[in-house]
Amino acid sequence: MILPLHEQLKARVRAVLAERYEITDPDLNVPVETPPNRTMGDLGTPVAFDLARRLRKAPRVIAQEIADALGPLPGITKVEAAPSGYLNVFLDRPAFLLARLGVAGSLPAPTPRSDKTIVEHTAINPNKAAHIGHLRNSALGDTLVRALRFRGSPVEVQNYIDDTGVQVADVVVGFREFEKIDLAGAKHLAATTRFDYYCWDLYARVTEWYDGDKERLKIRQATLHDIEHGVEPTASLAAFIADTVVRAHLKTMARLNIDYQLLTWEGDILRLKFWARAFDAMQATGAVYLQNDGKHAGCWVMKIDDPDAAATPEDDDPESREKVIVRSNGTAVYVAKDMAYQFWKSGLLGHDFYYRPFATRLNGEPLWATTSDPALAVKDHPAFGAAAATYNVIDVRQAYLQKLLKQALTAIGHPAEAERLTHFSYEMVALSHATAKELGFAPAEGSDEAKKPFVEVSGRKGLGVKADDLIDRVIAKAQSEVERRQPDLSDAERRRIAEDIGVAAVRYFLIKYSRTKVIVFDIDEALSFEGESGPYLQYAVVRANNIFQKLQDRLGIDQAAMLAPLPTMPPDFINGSDGDHELWALVLEAARLDDVVEQVVRTLEFAVLAKYGFALAQMFNAFYHRAQILNEERDDVRRWRAAAVAYFRMQLTRMLELMGVAVPPRM
């Protein structure tokens, strides 16, 4: 944990700039970085470069003047102006490490944050099994939740369930038209088959069927109408399908240690007339108005004030500057429901759901769901909604709609809330041609599809890798590796370990790419446990844990006993008096976790977290090979090394928790 030191250094440098140069701009940045290596320093700032022109002095000279004026700082032993112009500082290494291990000294308590934050992620249409594209959303969303909590923010995780959309309607059509299955039949099916897999295939067949004769789309429209208006028996069948598939999704996500606090159902938003409330607010503030002329005559429209978001291909016509919100027949478009939902999230709707317990969370607490039925409502529930900040985790293809949401908030007079709404956007997952071929989805030679750099995943076509299939394959691979290496363990133990490894492999794979990059999914790459992979990180911690296990087994010494004498031992070894700073480098890198989490939350770039964990594990592995502990005879050296390893394993374990990954006892 290094951020408190950053803050202290920044504050002191600012004070010096004010005293010595009378520079007090509040927005003057004092960036704190980590120099390339430990002989140059532990923290550094290029602040002198910014001031060079202003002060008409060389950066080197300015850095030196600041260094001279800084005075003594707690935890810092030396400040140095590098020839390059950087201002570098050196930390009190023994004090730094021992405080973080709780052996000696103390750390400042972190300042708690109080602003409630809602994170919405997953939101899979409840009409088929989850696939790898959905998994990217959930992995990013869940890691965001964990990162926010790590830094002390209270978070509410929601999963939006579109139970009244066309996708569910399509599967209902399949049940009726192809299978002649009613509600009782569907219940029987759910009890005897993989229901979400069954729906996966059925959905693809329905899509194909529509393509055969466009007249059939009328059946979809009628079905959708019946679902929205609660017309039986369609409504009950649709509700059963959605409920069953949602429960399957929850199971799939639970395998990856992903869960939620609240499921918000679109049907409840409809039945509780959230849109009517939102519409009132939008009319009252002039956010929407009735268009009398042109092609949007008779529609309620919202002005699009961002020229980036032109609504139609024809530019320069006035209609392209407005978005239809309510059609001329009086029905609201899709995004209208999202607006109502967003108003509720931001605490601006003045109306609430009823709530019912739906399932049990991973931690044993109830998972709540919204309901519109007072008979099902449970009074004693946590307060939901009305957050100070919102993150909507949803892929980049929805960027336009998310922009409209933000604009709607501004339009009803709440620019601050709009500012605190973040579209966490990420690119989609596609299949490599090799993997698509392996799955039997090779596009026809010479077709447009075949010329593309990748094959697009499509739930509509049933083209994709199902999440559970992927997880099964990864775990099976891990299982065979564990069986080879751990013959003395029981089957159950090996299974547990294989599951931990599988989760690590899948989750690491899903966050290691920048969110702006399309993941071209390749099955062999996802199944790799070598090099930059989740299991590599786990393996490093397992080895570190083993050292302490062996200390206990062979010598009867636990970690506390090993580290207790360090405050009175010579610090030469951690100080690198012999010119070797490898041990200290490992400690300092391990301490950067809070800095990395801060950066990750600021930029929503979780690849940075993944890379950090990997680099840290790499440093440890190198150290591990060079520096023995059990066989080291010099007592001080042995204990300093043990301290470094103790801190490393603590920090990398925490990093793995941030991506929902556990460390197995062996692997």
Partner RNA sequence: GCGCUCGUAGCUCAACUGGAUAGAGCAUCGGCCUUCGAAGCCGGGGGUCGCAGGUUCGAGUCCUGCCGAGCGCACCA
Q: How far is the CB of 271 from RNA (least distance, A)?
A: 15
Site for RNA in 373-432 (CB under 7 A): 396-401, 427-428
Write out the H or E segment, with its range, that includes residue 553.
none
Pair of tokens at residue 529? 């446990």
Out of 18, 19, 29, 461, point to the residue binding RNA (CB under 7 A): 29
Residue found by looking up tokens 């399932």 in the block: 359
481 binds RNA (CB under 7 A): yes
Shortest distance, CB of residue 257 to RNA, whole angstroms?
18
How many whole angstroms separate alpha carbon 294 and alpha carbon 281?
Answer: 25
Interacting residues with RNA between 147 and 186 (CB under 7 A): 162, 164-167
**What CA–CA distance (Å, rounded) separates 95 from 102?**
10
Nearer to RNA, 190 or 649 (CB): 649
Query: Least distance to RNA from the beta carbon of 396, Å?
Result: 6
- Residues 170/461, Cβ–Cβ less than 8 Å: no
Asked if residue 207 binds RNA (CB under 7 A), the reply is: no
Residue 627 in the binding site for RNA (CB under 7 A): yes
- Token pair, residue 324, equals 């239809």
Cβ-Cβ contacts under 8 Å for 198 (sequence gap 6 or more): 189
- Listed in sequence order, the residues at least 6 apart from 313 whose beta carbon sits closer than 8 Å to its beta carbon are none
Q: Fill in the per-residue mask, 314 to 353: x = in contact with RNA (CB under 7 A), - = not in contact.
A: -x--------x--xxx-x-xxx------------------
Q: Rule CB under 7 A: is residue 310 a binding residue for RNA?
A: yes
# binding residues, RNA (CB under 7 A): 110
Question: Residue 155 or 498: which CB sits closer to RNA?
Answer: 498
| 88, 138, 264, 342: residue in contact with RNA (rule CB under 7 A) | 88
Task: Give, rounded to a whole angstrom, the gap between the first and last alpha carbons of the chain.
Answer: 28
Neighbours of 398 (CB within 10 A): 17
Stretch that binds RNA, among 94-102, 116-124, 294-302, 572-580 (CB under 7 A): 294-302
Chain positions 263 to 292 lying near RNA, rule: CB under 7 A, are none
Asked whether position 622 contacts RNA by CB under 7 A, the answer is yes
Residues 43-72 that bind RNA (CB under 7 A): 44, 46, 49-50, 52-53, 59
Binding segment for RNA (CB under 7 A), chosen from 139-147, 246-254, 345-353, 477-485, is 477-485
Quote the least distance from Cβ 547 to RNA, whole Å.
4
Which single residue is written with the structure tokens 């969303």? 141
User: How are the residues of the chain apportioned to helix, strand and coil, as percentages rounded to the nearest 5?
Assistant: 55, 10, 35
Residue type, 191: A
- Cα–Cα dist 88/80, whole Å: 5
Binding mask 513-542 for RNA (x = CB under 7 A): xx-xxxxx----x--xxxxx--xx--x--x
**Looking at beta carbons only, is 355 or 647 nearer to RNA?**
647
- Alpha-carbon torsion (378, 379, 380, 384), positive or negative: positive
Residues 438 to 467 in contact with RNA, rule: CB under 7 A: 451-453, 456
The answer to whether 254 contacts RNA (rule: CB under 7 A) is no
By DSSP bridging, strand 87-91 and strand 354-360 are unpaired
Q: Which stretch binds RNA (CB under 7 A): 42-50, 175-183, 205-213, 341-349?
A: 42-50
- φ/ψ of residue 106, rounded to 5: -150, 165
Least distance (Å) between residue 116 CB and RNA: 26
What binding mask, one character per residue, do residues 538-557 give for RNA by CB under 7 A, x or -? -x--xx--xx--x-------
Buried residues in 170-185 as b, exposed as e (16+ CB within 10 A): bbbbbbbeeeebebee
DSSP state letter for 566: G
